Structure 1
Amino acid sequence: MRGRAPLPIGTSGQVSYSGPKGKVVALTRFRDFDGVTRRVSAQGTSRAAADAALKEKLKARTHLGGLELTRDSTIKELSERWLPTLTQSQATQDSYRQKVDRYILPAMGAWRLWEATTGRCEAFLRTLQATAPSMASQSRVVLSLMMGLAVRYDIIGTNPVREVMMPTVEKRQVSALSVEQVQDLRRHIDKWAGQKPGRASTLDAMDMFLATGLRPGELLSLQFSDVDFRMGTIAVTGTVKRDSVHGLHRQASPKSESGKRVLTLPLFGLELLRRRKAGAAGDLVFPNRNGEPMEPANFRRLWREARGKQWEGVKPSSFRKAVATLIERESGSLIASRQLGHSSDAITKKHYIERNRNAPDSSLILEQLNSRVTLVH
């Protein structure tokens, strides 16, 4: 005759009660995480009090690694345990928290962990994708990381977000400004800058983008102490960003390790820096009116005003695409990726270089296949 099946690890059996009124004992069996089943008891003045005390004891035994979560915990409770474990930059942590607070919790915060099936997660993400495709993609990453924590602590068996299938989004082809378009745009910005004092810095910023291919945060963090006027180079040493802990600040390192680079400037870029240094009061090349780092949002606002409706589709990132595409045509994608500070040219080719639809001229090679031509040996 077979004995009763063992309890699953981390679970308890039926509860029995004994003892007189005022001294009730609640008793159950609990299978600990070492696989051994042990008796667990608690005492109270009533059956309800003893039961509550027993549940607290079992809760303490069920919590693995201090997470204090079970399969019946909610997505909201999981998020509260997950967020403090993040080790990314503060700006990334703020971005993750925004996705949790704005998108995930309103839609599924009250779900129990076992209720977060692949189908339900997919339905949530597809609904979000219909209105905010980029937020759906980022929310999927955040939700997967959250559920991954629950998997690692054996609270759930698998990560339901991993198997989510999202509709294929049509890939946008990279479009880069041509040399002629850049020159037309520059004339437009030059005219706008001449209409009102204080606008010349926006034109200088555009020229520095074109001379370097810098990210906006890298441009706003550029210091004269980063410039070697003798060698004609700049060192990319930081970025400007805002987060919930430090506020607006200059971070003493760029976006990534590959972002740390030294760039050789064209003559127009070097002359621009010499001119700005002659009138500068501080070390920042593009400070705000108080000599402090400029708020990236304010820079974007100024740029939108400068470009007007005629160039509405042009963003600061457009100049990185123009720089990358021009360098790729002349020197190859690897050189372009190093200019932009990417870890590989795969990123550069996918997001920054406009595809060259003109194949190399192989006409003389192919002429050998012409049967009407006599080959001379």
Structure 2
Amino acid sequence: MGAVIALPLVEPEEPRRRRSKKRANGQGSIYQRKDGRWAGAAYVLTADGTYKRVPVYGRSAEEVDAKLTEIKSRSNRGLPTDATGWTIASYSDYWIEHVASPKLRPTTLVRYRSLVARYVVPAIGKRRLTALTPADVRLMLAKAASTRTAGRKDQPEDERPKVSARTVQQVHAVLRAMLSQAVREELLARNVARLVQAPAPEREEIHPWAEAEARAFLAAVRAHRLHALFVVALALGLRRGELLGLRWSDVDLDAGQLWVWQTLQRVRGDGVVFGPPKSRRSRRVLTMPVVVVQALKRHRSVQAHERKLADGQWQETGLVFTTATGRHVEPRNLNTAFGRLIARAGVRPIRFHDLRHTCATLLLAAGVSPRVVMDILGHSQIAVTMNIYGHVMPAMQQEAAGHIDAALSEPEEADDGGDD
């Protein structure tokens, strides 16, 4: 029997930790931790607009790779990595700052911020974005509708009127727009705000001047330094911000054309702001009636005289309608001056915006096509024109019926006294 050779015991080697192959720059790294779990990290966009290294974990390299691919894809689309944990409050901050702010007019942005802060966040701000339901939206709208307005300081809260249906409709519109963006960014599968119908506001009653009232007002304020502003408002229906933002470079008195390219608004917290008109269709080119051209020529002469009188105090802004020293006209000051001129003229009081309504109703009553009126006013859709000025339509329909009678009626036969 041969000798038995004892072999030394060899401890089994620890399994070598698996490592993934080297990944390209920007794809993130993947490695296995000591506890056996897999981890990875990549630099991705965050809600504040900066990039930071974000870790992900999984039970396999393939699972981590899929997670890295997903967060990188979101980052490349401009979607912050922390979006998956957003509440309505946090997403609204992101939406206002990165989506609404770059494309909205300053005054509209201030209004959106106010609606979100006052009505949306208090009602549903803590709800997770992905967990929001139509019932939550209805609750939010009900709370908004029951909110009292600020009212007078000495007025008891229970006697203050509730917010208007128009405000509730705007709250719903802001939430709907915000959730639509979340759907486009694939954070939500559907927009639950679209499943809830907001209350329809009552149609605003407008009280424009009749032709005689408009003529009487212009005659009474002919000597006022801003007479031309009121002529333009009544003849072309420009909004207050469009009038105050009008520049001489936007007016061609020889060709009789006027370009509406910018507006002037006073924005709370930002002061006076120049911005684009209300909508894309509000950017428009208008043909000026002779009465407007003549009024602007007189106004240009008056402004040139004021420039000389102001001497070194004149501030050149290029604006058509200014103060006596060339500075912009404050919107509220214009409203105040308009009220005083109405009292001096002895005509029926109206709001400044009703000058725009007066222009529209005078045009429609004169038989101008609603489509042309829409273009002059800069409405986005003809339905807006028809809804606001539907009260003028019956008179136009009666006139149209008369035209049809004249065109199609058979001539009456002369009665010769004979039998039928």
The aligned counterpart of 1:206 is 230
Q: Which amino acid aligns with 1:318?
A: D
Query: Displacement of 1:312 after TM fit?
Result: 7.7
Query: Displacement of 1:204 after TM fit?
Result: 3.8
Match of 1:326 among 362, 378, 394: 362
Is 1:292 paired with 2:324? no
Query: Displacement of 1:164 after TM fit?
Result: 0.8
Contact 2:85 2:128 in 1 (8 A): yes
Query: Displacement of 1:162 after TM fit?
Result: 0.8
Is 1:112 paired with 2:100? no
Deviations 1:193-250 (A, max 9, x none): 98xxxxx245442222113221211211223333333333333332213457974243
The aligned counterpart of 2:378 is 341
The aligned counterpart of 1:85 is 99
Contact 1:222 1:236 in 2 (8 A): yes
**Which whole-Å CA distance do the structure 2 matches of 1:259 and 1:71 have between them?**
38
Contact 2:165 2:202 in 1 (8 A): no
Deviations 1:165-185 (A, max 9, x none): 223333346554321232344
Contact 1:214 1:340 in 2 (8 A): yes
Describe the shift of the 1:157–1:238 C-alpha distance in structure 2 as closer, same or farther (beyond 3 A). closer
**Which whole-Å CA distance do the structure 2 matches of 1:39 and 1:176 have between them?**
72
SS in structure 2 of the partner of residue 270 of structure 1? helix
The aligned counterpart of 1:125 is 141
Query: Displacement of 1:338 after TM fit?
Result: 2.2
**Which whole-Å CA distance do the structure 2 matches of 1:326 and 1:270 have between them?**
19
**Which whole-Å CA distance do the structure 2 matches of 1:152 and 1:233 have between them?**
41
Contact 1:62 1:70 in 2 (8 A): no
The aligned counterpart of 2:337 is 302
**Which whole-Å CA distance do the structure 1 matches of 2:144 and 2:256 have between them?**
48
The aligned counterpart of 2:297 is 274
Contact 2:234 2:356 in 1 (8 A): yes
Deviations 1:265-308 (A, max 9, x none): 33332222122211213532211344232232332343344446
What residue ranges of structure 1 are gaps of 5+ in the alignment?
Answer: 1-22, 30-36, 42-57, 195-199
Q: Which amino acid aligns with 1:76?
A: A
**Which whole-Å CA distance do the structure 2 matches of 1:230 and 1:365 have between them?**
40
Match of 1:73 among 60, 81, 86: 86
The aligned counterpart of 2:199 is 167
Contact 2:132 2:192 in 1 (8 A): yes
The aligned counterpart of 2:350 is 314
- How large is the RMSD of aligned CA atoms in angstroms? 4.1
**Which whole-Å CA distance do the structure 2 matches of 1:312 and 1:39 have between them?**
78
Deviations 1:22-79 (A, max 9, x none): x9959699xxxxxxx94179xxxxxxxxxxxxxxxx9998795443446663211111
Deviations 1:113-152 (A, max 9, x none): 3453111211211332452322222221221222233334
The aligned counterpart of 1:137 is 169
Is 1:215 paired with 2:236? no
Describe the shift of the 1:312–1:69 C-alpha distance in structure 2 as closer, same or farther (beyond 3 A). farther
SS in structure 2 of the partner of residue 161 of structure 1? helix
**Which whole-Å CA distance do the structure 2 matches of 1:218 and 1:70 have between them?**
39
**Which whole-Å CA distance do the structure 1 matches of 2:35 and 2:184 have between them?**
35
Describe the shift of the 1:166–1:224 C-alpha distance in structure 2 as closer, same or farther (beyond 3 A). closer
**Which whole-Å CA distance do the structure 1 matches of 2:60 and 2:271 have between them?**
50
**Which whole-Å CA distance do the structure 2 matches of 1:369 and 1:80 have between them?**
72
Describe the shift of the 1:313–1:150 C-alpha distance in structure 2 as closer, same or farther (beyond 3 A). farther
User: Which deviates more, 214-223 or 171-180?
Assistant: 171-180
**Which whole-Å CA distance do the structure 2 matches of 1:62 and 1:250 have between them?**
39
Q: Which amino acid aligns with 1:205?
A: L
Contact 2:282 2:377 in 1 (8 A): yes
User: Which deviates more, 128-137 or 155-164?
Assistant: 128-137
Is 1:100 paired with 2:116? yes
Is 1:237 paired with 2:261? yes
**Which whole-Å CA distance do the structure 2 matches of 1:88 and 1:174 have between them?**
30
Aligned residues: 321
